[in-house]
Amino acid sequence: MSGNTIGKLFTVTTFGESHGIAIGGVVDGCPPGLALNEADLQGDLDRRKPGTSRYTTARREDDEVKILSGVFEGKSTGTSIGLLINNKDQRSQDYSKIKDSFRPGHADYTYQQKFGFRDYRGGGRSSARETAVRVAAGGIAKKYLKQQYGIEVRGYLSQLGPIAVDKVDHSVTNTNPFFCPDETKLEALDAYMRDLKKEGNSIGAKVSVSAINVPVGLGEPVFDRLDADIAHAMMGINAVKGVEIGDGFEVVNQKGTEHRDEMSPEGFHTNHAGGILGGISSGQEIIVHMALKPTSSISISGESVDINGQSDEVITKGRHDPCVGIRAVPIAEAMLAIVLMDHLLRHRAQNSLVNSITPIIPAQR
């Protein structure tokens, strides 16, 4: 298999399995001169890391990232940045049961078929553990975007099972273990997750991520549109089954007069498009939603087969997130930052004026 790299000019390549020695990666294409150290990346890693609340897996990992190269005297040199995170709390024995059978709804089956065998410990390469590296890499992009362009990327949980948020207050998101931006839903979420754990079940979720201050003009028609690359990045997050830009599936029953975002010299009147028109950023807020399926690693027995095709019952012991959507919030932010960074560099290649272009109308309205 190949395919462990994303991006064209700002590229992120990852390696590592859930229960291997370490996970890590290479970030290639960071411009020189960016002030950068491990602390810049640790904040988001801590947001993503397991073992921080009773709503996520009990596995405890420090997720301390080391920058092995590409930074000298506190600044990026313009060369490739090596990232390393050691694995610590593996309990591989938990997985001996699934060594020879497949969790229904899990990549166990497809990995076995594709590769002929698989690292079954903790899901091996298919584990969400790999996303820690994406978060570290995304941290580099985030810092550059914020510092050079004032771009801010912000994610949040927008729905968990039947509980949808009613309002988005970004100042609330990081004050609770759900990344929920609506304080009035915290109690309901807590109660729901308690019951779910008791039940031994898992639940799906909807995660949203947006970016403000994105310059107008990012995105390469025809195939490498900004929205297409965002869709690629988000659908590449473990468990994601749907991606929307702006109004998403609501557009199916919208008329042209409802959907189009009218403009006046003061700016756009609305943002149904989610900040992207014709695959190119409009300068408005970029808005992305995604749906994450309930994890298949649950302690309720399911019908399955073993590697010989014989009937089997599977119960997942191990330690798992009952809602993988929660910890997906910093991952989604990282992926959006990586895509924006890549397109920013691509855009600059064509036009060195991106800092100075005067938008015809003000953005962000």
Phi, psi of 21 (to 5 degrees): -65, -45
125 is in an annotated binding site: yes
Rounded Cα–Cα distance for residues 336 and 341 (Å): 8
Give whichever of 160 and 180 is closer to its own copies, judged by the CB atom. Answer: 160
**CB of residue 333 to its own copies, shortest distance in Å:** 17
Query: Is residue 278 a known part of a binding site?
Result: yes
**Dist. CA 208–CA 302, nearest whole Å:** 31
Whichever of 186 and 354 has its CB closer to its own copies, that residue is: 354
Helix, strand or coil, per DSSP, at residue 139:
helix
Q: Is 330 annotated as belonging to a binding site?
A: no
Taking alpha carbons only, the member of 346, 111, 363 closest to residue 229 is 346
CB 171, min distance to its own copies, A: 25
To the question of whether residue 238 is assigned a binding role by annotation, the answer is yes
Shortest distance in whole angstroms from residue 115 CB to its own copies: 4
Pick between residue 106 and residue 185 the one whose CB is nearest to its own copies.
Answer: 106
Q: Per the annotation, does 296 bind a ligand?
A: yes
C-beta closer to its own copies: residue 175 or 300: 300
How many Å apart are CA 156 and CA 172, to the nearest integer? 10
Distance CA(71)–CA(76), nearest Å, equals 4
For the bound state, the minimum distance from the C-beta of residue 234 to its own copies, rounded and expressed in Å, comes to 7
56 annotated as ligand-binding: no
Collapse the DSSP code of 315 into the 3-class scheme (helix H, G, I; strand E, B; otherwise coil) and give the result.
coil
DSSP 243: E
Q: Is the peptide bond before 251 cis (omega within 30 degrees of 0)?
A: no
Residues whose CB falls within 8 Å of the CB of residue 2, separated by 6 or more in sequence, listed in order: none
Distances in Å between the Cα of 322 and the Cα atoms of 62, 102, 168, 296 are: 20, 19, 24, 9
Identify which of residues 175 and 349 has a Cβ nearer to its own copies in the complex: 349
279 annotated ligand-binding residue: no
282 appears as a binding residue in the annotation: no
Q: How far is the CB of 60 from its own copies (least distance, A)?
A: 21
Whichever of 16 and 177 has its CB closer to its own copies, that residue is 16
Residues 6+ apart with CB under 8 A from 361: 263, 264, 265, 266, 267, 268
- Minimum gap (Å) between residue 345 Cβ and its own copies: 4
Report how far residue 53's alpha carbon sits from residue 321's, in angstroms, rounded to the nearest whole number.
10
In the bound state with its own copies, the residue whose beta carbon lies nearer, of 171 and 311, is 311
Binding annotation for FMN: 125-127, 238-239, 278, 293-297, 319
Which residues are known binding-site members for NADP(+)? 48, 54
The binding site comprises 48, 54, 125-127, 238-239, 278, 293-297, 319
